[in-house]
Amino acid sequence: MRVILVGFGVVGRSFAELVESEARKLERDYGLRPRIVAAVDHLGAAVAEDGLDVKTVLESKKKSGTMEGLGQQYSAGKSALDVIKEVECEVVVESTPTELTSGEPGLGHVRAALKEGRHVICTNKGPLAIAMPALMELANHNKVLLKFSGTVGGGTPVLDFAKKCLEGSKIRSISGILNGTSNFILSKMTSEGVTMQAALAEAQRLGYAEADPTYDIGGFDTACKLVITSNYVLGTSLSIKDVRIKGITEISKKDIDEAKSKGSVIKLIGRVEKNASVQPQEIPATHPLNVSGTFNAISFDTYPAGEITLVGKGAGGMETASSVLRDLIEIRRAFAR
Ligand SMILES: NC(=O)c1ccc[n+]([C@@H]2O[C@H](COP(=O)([O-])OP(=O)(O)OC[C@H]3O[C@@H](n4cnc5c(N)ncnc54)[C@H](OP(=O)(O)O)[C@@H]3O)[C@@H](O)[C@H]2O)c1
């Protein structure tokens, strides 16, 4: 199966490594032989129709930050849109940075790939948070699959768990801790009594938070994941504009202490029932959603089975790459059928 990697950062590179290290198992267990025919970053593209040498691409990117080390296979300045049009493949993996105003450049990449009749695996939340219903329609129209397991829960199979394992149940509402950075900060404030600024600085030092943490602590990342989960699992047609969003920036040490005195904790919770919202909420310390550190947790209130909660790591290169691989296996199965 020929694969183009659009975005060759943490997720793209982890996926390339995973495919390389698991090659035997993938062929033996799933009859799957992924061949990476192109990798594109923001500076250019490496292309080899019979498959790139993954080790060389990874080494080059690590050494110089570019794929120049590939020699003639590398074209500086070549864009992802050109590669999607010109290079034959079955699957495009889109993992460029998330952007929530226009969804670009990811939205353009996903649209172009679907129009070219390629299956798409997207880890970038932007295109889906902005235009998921239209993209699903475009995929159906072109008789290809659009998969996005890695957008919610990193390697934890949140979406497919709800879609496949809860079949036959009615899902009345969904609530989740969907952003590891915010959860780390709130957990730290609760367990160590530190201020928001101190907890944020620690998150930045550990690489959990960006220099500009607005996307995480402003609640936008949680809102993206809520939109994707609600649309996929409940069949809604939400975009991020439909979500009422309040982040954790105003939570003080005093709020945390007050909650604690009542046996509660404050968590940033994304919730969809009739409406979709993201806001800090007090929950009992014994509640299953009270996970610590960078963990994610999501609860499905179901009939007749009651509340079912899934907990796992919500991010990480290899964890997210494992979701991309699951999507690829599913595409292969659909192909075989
Ligand atoms: N990391 C995680 O744990 C995780 C988990 C779930 C979802 N995600 C999502 O997955 C996506 C990728 O995450 P990441 O951590 O891999 O990000 P990253 O390390 O910043 O990598 C982004 C990659 O996209 C490339 N890029 C930027 N603009 C481009 C363009 N116009 N055309 C082609 N390539 C372009 C960058 O090029 P350069 O290398 O040249 O800068 C880089 O290779 C993001 O949307 C993120 O939200 C990440």
Return the CATH number at 175: 3.30.360.10
Return the pLDDT at 237.
97
Cβ proximity of 292 and 300 under 8 Å: no
Q: Which residue's CA is the nearest one to ligand 1's atom 29?
A: 42
How much distance in Å is there from the Cα of 80 to the middle of ligand 1?
Answer: 13
Q: Are residues 98 and 18 in the same domain?
A: yes
313 an active-site residue? Answer: no
- Write out the chain's pLDDT in tens, 337 residues: 999 999 999 999 999 999 999 999 999 999 999 999 999 999 999 999 999 999 999 999 999 999 999 999 999 999 999 999 999 999 999 999 999 999 999 999 999 999 999 999 999 999 999 999 999 999 999 999 999 999 999 999 999 999 999 999 999 999 999 999 999 999 999 999 999 999 999 999 999 998 899 999 999 999 999 999 999 999 999 999 999 999 999 999 999 999 999 999 999 999 999 999 999 999 999 999 999 999 999 999 999 999 999 999 999 999 999 999 999 999 999 987 7
Q: Are residues 151 and 176 in the same domain?
A: no
Return the pLDDT at 336.
77
Active-site residue (options: 61, 147, 188, 225): 225
Return the pLDDT at 171.
97
Q: Helix, strand or coil for residue 55?
A: helix
Is 280 near ligand 1, meaning CB less than 6 Å away?
Answer: no
Q: Are residues 96 and 39 in the same domain?
A: yes
Q: Are residues 162 and 308 in the same domain?
A: yes
Q: Are residues 115 and 206 in the same domain?
A: no
Q: Are residues 113 and 182 in the same domain?
A: no
How far are the Cα atoms of 62, 84, 106, 197, 202 from residue 5, in angstroms, in the given order?
A: 16, 10, 12, 37, 33
Is 148 near ligand 1, meaning CB less than 6 Å away?
Answer: no
Domain that holds residue 289: 158-313
Return the pLDDT at 117.
97
Cβ proximity of 264 and 202 under 8 Å: no
Mutate to test the pocket of ligand 1, among 5, 42, 318 (most ligand atoms within 8 A of CB): 42
**Residue 295 β-bridge partners:** 313
Return the pLDDT at 211.
86
Return the pLDDT at 335.
81
Q: Are residues 30 and 164 in the same domain?
A: no
Cβ proximity of 128 and 224 under 8 Å: yes
How far are the Cα atoms of 127, 155, 170 from residue 148, in angstroms, in the given order?
A: 11, 11, 23
Query: From CA 135, how far away is CA 145, in angstroms rounded?
Result: 10
Is 42 near ligand 1, meaning CB less than 6 Å away?
Answer: yes
Is 6 near ligand 1, meaning CB less than 6 Å away?
Answer: yes
233: CB partners within 8 A, 6+ apart: 159, 162, 163, 166, 171, 174, 300
Is 9 near ligand 1, meaning CB less than 6 Å away?
Answer: yes
Q: Which residue's CA is the nearest one to ligand 1's atom 27?
A: 42
Q: Are residues 66 and 181 in the same domain?
A: no
